[in-house]
Amino acid sequence: MSRRVLVVATLALLAACRRPSGGPPPFSAPLALGGRTIAPAALERGRDAYTHFCRPCHGDAGDGKGPAASGVRPPPRDLRLGIYKFAAVPAGQLPRDEDFVRTIKHGLHGTAMLAWDVPDAELDDLIQFVKAFAPRWRSEAPGDAVVAAPDPWTGRDVDGIERGKRVYHGLAQCAVACHPAYVTKAEIYAFAKELTGADTREIRGDVYLPIAKDSDYGFKILPPDFTFNPLRGGDTLDDIYRAIASGIGGTAMPTWKGVLPDADLWALARYVRWLTGLRDTPRAEELRRTLAEQPPWSPPPLDGGSDGGPRD
């Protein structure tokens, strides 16, 4: 075999080794993804970027079973599903390209998804290639962006936090079946009465613990305890507002935009941010101890003197 033939054969072998198996076949024609027409050359450039940055965890096939995925918790996303948690669109809808950029550039806190410094020249190609794993991108467009209204609590942080505490426990009732509560049972009752008029006669016994919820990812997800867990989508005020307003795709966290007034969404964001500020501090332990040691609670008597409980 001549030296030229040997070199050509070696280069071909190296190229084959670099080409991952199990992913989309080579692109030879433009592909419509989310309302955009993507050239095959761009998709192939995206494949190269994906192989470099994403393949170790997300795998050749985008199934979340890459060589580095073993033992990773939470597991890497199965990109074939086309389900995305953190986007500024209503939960369950396809994200916009800027949502991909934010996740890639900033990562997801508390997970193995790091912040990646993908060169700007490669970023769009990478995003379009990632879309190619999920069939729904061929027939659906991204959702409309959830746009934040002006924050009415600017300069009134204490008032916003106080309102958020009441909304969290009494109006949105985040602790009814998902997140932990962070106030006494008497306060939960009073806030619900104040904001909804409801006379709540029962409060779940484990109200200071989160409840595991079904998800579209094939496993249950435990809603975060904001005084303990990092916020995956970011912990700035804007990050928290976005997660509350848009919801978390594929999980039990609904879209609150349009359900609650924007002033209450911003108040909730401020309260959650305040709670996250307690993480890893003695104040968090003090709050848990105070709630654990609160005296037994029962609802006030109904009109006529009955407390609604069983009679002898």
Distance CA(213)–CA(264), nearest Å, equals: 25
Q: Which residue has the higher pLDDT, 229 or 74?
A: 229
**Model pTM above 0.75:** yes
Q: Averaged over 11-27, what is the pLDDT?
A: 57
Tokens 């199965």 belong to residue: 78
Strand partners of residue 37 = 32
- pLDDT on residue 283: 97
Q: Averaged over 189-210, what is the pLDDT?
A: 94
- pLDDT on residue 305: 53
pLDDT level of residue 23 (50, 70, 90 thresholds)? confident
Q: Which residue has the higher pLDDT, 177 or 173?
A: 173
Structural domains in the chain? 20-138 (1.10.760.10), 157-292 (1.10.760.10)
pLDDT value at 304 more than 70 = no
- Residue pair 267/163 in contact (Cβ under 8 Å)? The answer is yes
Structure tokens, 310: 């069983």
Distance CA(271)–CA(266), nearest Å, equals: 9
Tokens 């016994």 belong to residue: 205
pLDDT value at 310 more than 70 = no
Burial 136-165 (b: 16+ CB within 10 A, else e): ebeeeebbeebebeebbbeeeeeebbebbb
Supply the mean pLDDT for the chain.
90
pLDDT digits (tens, 9 = 90+) for 125-173: 999 999 999 999 999 999 999 999 999 999 999 999 999 999 999 999 9
pLDDT value at 182 more than 90 = yes
- pLDDT on residue 24: 87
CA-based torsion, 34, 36, 37, 40: positive or negative? negative
pLDDT digits (tens, 9 = 90+) for 94-131: 999 999 999 999 999 989 999 999 999 999 999 999 99
Task: Determine which of 31-40, 202-211, 231-240, 295-304 has the lowest per-residue pLDDT on average.
Answer: 295-304
pLDDT level of residue 21 (50, 70, 90 thresholds)? low
pLDDT digits (tens, 9 = 90+) for 24-83: 899 999 999 999 999 999 999 999 999 999 999 999 999 999 999 998 888 899 999 999
Name the residue among 68, 67, 107 with its Cα closest to residue 86: 107
